[in-house]
Amino acid sequence: MARFVRRDPAPAAQRPVIGVLCCNEVADRPIQAVASRFIEPLSRISGATVLLVPALVEVADVTALAGRLDGLLLTGSRSDVEPHHYGGRAVPESCADPQRDRVALALAERMIESGRPVFGICRGLQEINVLFGGSLRRDLGEEHHRAGEMPFDALFEHRHDVTLTPDGLLGGVAQEGRIRVNSVHREGIDRLGDGLTIEARSPEDGLVEAISARPCGAEVLAVQWHPEWNGARTATDRRFFERIGAALHPAAFGETDGFVCHPRGH
């Protein structure tokens, strides 16, 4: 028979818990999926415990999750946000994940209203922009996305320049405020959501590459590129996960200064 050893009570200061949203994919059968590379930097750099959140409307209890999570990361994905969420027309060739859309928008809204930090990478940036009333575009060209088939790793080798906003949340890590980022996305921001601040742009065509906000006392930050690729080894990529760690500190969850927060604008 196994012996159970009594352990001392857990220390008062626990690692904060961040939810990481999954996607609906098929690998011989329907599965919940999230790339491991999103998770590792959250533990190593952000100092967080990761809880995977299913992108299943009937399973993900948004109210309960928002009450238990200290923060939320909306990851990148192979799928696109369905255009009806921002008044756009359906695109026949788009790869949709309607349940991911619904869970991401509802949970992010509840977290923000509760004064909890929310972060986004690639699709996550697009979801946050839509949540704040913005819209998306698909006519980005090869500067941001390479068409055609190629090895998976090669997709992330496609890079371009990004100009960081002076004194922004991601600034101060590159000479002259310009960095090179990977670019693996079909869609991008068209109309910026209400209340969002631009943290970075592409100098070539002005496409918004990073956004932030603090509507209810906690940080909202998202980037269009993939800082988690290759383990967040560059200074700017590491800065993104350091910002997550700082926002997850318990001191960040104080009063919301009386704000009534409605990211969707209703």
Q: Cβ-count burial of 168 within 10 angstroms (0-12 exposed, 13-18 middle, 19+ buried)?
A: middle
Active site residues: 122, 226, 228
**Cα separation, 139 vs 121, whole angstroms:** 20
Could you give the angle at the alpha carbon of 219 between the alpha carbons of 263 and 79, nearest 5°?
65
Closest C-alpha among 46, 43, 70 to residue 253: 70
Please provide residue 238's backbone torsions phi and psi, each rounded to the nearest 5 degrees.
-65, -35
Q: What is the largest CA-CA distance in the chain?
A: 67
Q: How far apart are the first and last CA of the chain?
A: 59
Q: Any idea what the Cα angle at residue 156 is, between residues 119 and 210, rounded to 5°?
A: 30
CB 184 within 8 A of CB 229: no
